[in-house]
Amino acid sequence: MKKLVITLAVGLLASAGVLAQAWPSKTTSMVVPFPPGGSTDTVARAIATQLSSKLGQPFVVENKAGATGTIGATQVKRAAPDGHTFLVTSLGPLVIAPHLIRGVQYDALKDFDTITVAVQAPNVLVVPAASPYKTLGAIVAYQKINPGKMSFASSGNGSSDHLTAELFWQQTGTSGTHVPYKGGAPAITDLLGGQVDASFQNINAVIQHIKSGKLRALAITSEKRSTLLPEVPTLSESGMKGLVVYSWQAVVAPKGLPADVRSKAHAAIVAALNDPQLRQQFVSVGFEIVANTPAQFASFQQQEFARWKKVIETGKITID
């Protein structure tokens, strides 16, 4: 009997070893809770291409837009935690939307297993090339005289570009009109067309339009000036101390991911982010590679969750 038990135990361990090596065993879905063309979609597609090539199984991006990214996040929360469904998202659904939307169908801090914060990037205050506003000061002055008349586009309610505008209004004692879109791409399209006056957009999403002269950059939300836009002052330089905001894109999975799969997924995604070609592609448009550990990401998420909760409550910001 003792020999039988030992034999069975060895067999079970061997089977567990085989299972541990099986990931990925089929097509893996990388759910993006926003439309194609925005920053998060760009990051997801670049990572998915790398993973498909290196792991020998397809990694397919699925765009599930709506409700400030919470529809896609809810879908991933309900998916099987087997390593074949991930959420590639901006900070919105994980640390902002839960404070703004009633009845969100997930607990952002409890219903996902963190994998890594992939990248971060500052926002840039931009206006159309034909805009009469040449400086940040000119915008502040106009808004003080004309409260609520200047329109600011964002990639959606609760996005970093939305709340950056809200912080901007709070610190300057001004107000504008928030115009939310279903993603960064449509917001930028209307900005280029002059349908909206301004926007705090992710640097990577607008750098080409700034370089081509289609958009004018007036300020940046980073701690120091960007090497891509050395002539553009930070908001802190412009007198708005402490107004430092980074948008970030991260990867999470449904809660309950097996430890070995989580470890392998993290290692594979970090390796993809550190691929020289991909790294150069990201850095050249203003992304900063983060690639932190699941534990570091979890701690960072809690900090960001508390930070934006305070900002939203202080500003009495609602979208319901």
Phi and psi (nearest 5°) for 117?
-80, 115
pLDDT tens digits, residue range 94-133?
A: 999 999 998 999 999 999 999 999 999 999 999 999 999 9
Q: What is the pLDDT of residue 15?
A: 47
User: How many Cβ atoms sit within 10 Å of the Cβ of residue 145?
Assistant: 8
Give the CATH architecture of domain 122-220: 3-Layer(aba) Sandwich (3.40)
Q: Which two three-digit tokens encode residue 216?
A: 């004018």
Q: Which residues contact 60 (CB under 8 A, 6 or more apart)?
A: 27, 28, 29, 30, 48
Say what the pLDDT of residue 6 is.
Answer: 54
DSSP string, 118-155: EEEEEEEEEEETT-S--SHHHHHHHHHHSTT-SEEEES
Q: CATH 3.40.190.150 spans which residues of the chain?
A: 26-120+248-315
Q: If phi over 0 gives left and psi between -120 and 50 gives alpha, with beta otherwise, what is residue 292?
A: beta
Q: Please report how the helices 39-55 and 276-283 are oriented relative to each other, as an axis angle in degrees rounded to 10.
A: 170
Q: Calculate the dihedral angle through the C-alpha atoms of 23, 29, 31, 37, rounding to the nearest 10 degrees.
A: 120
Task: Give residue 14's pLDDT.
Answer: 45
Residues of the chain with pLDDT under 70: 1-21, 320
Q: In the CATH scheme, what is the code of domain 26-120+248-315?
A: 3.40.190.150
User: Could you identify the residue written with the tokens 């107004």?
Assistant: 243
Q: DSSP class of residue 317?
A: -
Q: According to the model, what pLDDT value does residue 320 have?
A: 58
Q: How far apart are CA 61 and CA 32, in angstroms?
A: 7
Neighbour count for residue 203 (Cβ, 10 Å):
27
User: Which string of DSSP letters, residue by residue, matches 171-186?
Assistant: HHT---EEEE-SSHHH
User: What pTM does this model have?
Assistant: 0.81
At residue 314, the pLDDT reads 80
- Cα–Cα–Cα angle for 297, 298, 302, rounded to 5 degrees: 115
Compute the distance between CA of residue 258 and CA of residue 147 in angstroms, rounded to an integer. 53
> E strands along the chain, which residues?
28-32, 59-63, 85-90, 112-128, 151-154, 177-180, 198-202, 215-220, 246-254, 288-289
Domain with CATH 3.40.190.10 in the chain: 122-220
- 38-91 residue pLDDT tens: 889 999 999 999 999 999 999 999 999 988 899 999 999 999 999 999 999 999
Return the pLDDT at 318. Answer: 78
What pLDDT was estimated at residue 238?
85
pLDDT of residue 19: 44
- Answer whether the bond into residue 35 is a cis peptide, omega within 30°: no
> How far is residue 121's CA from residue 297's CA, in Å, rounded to a whole number?
16
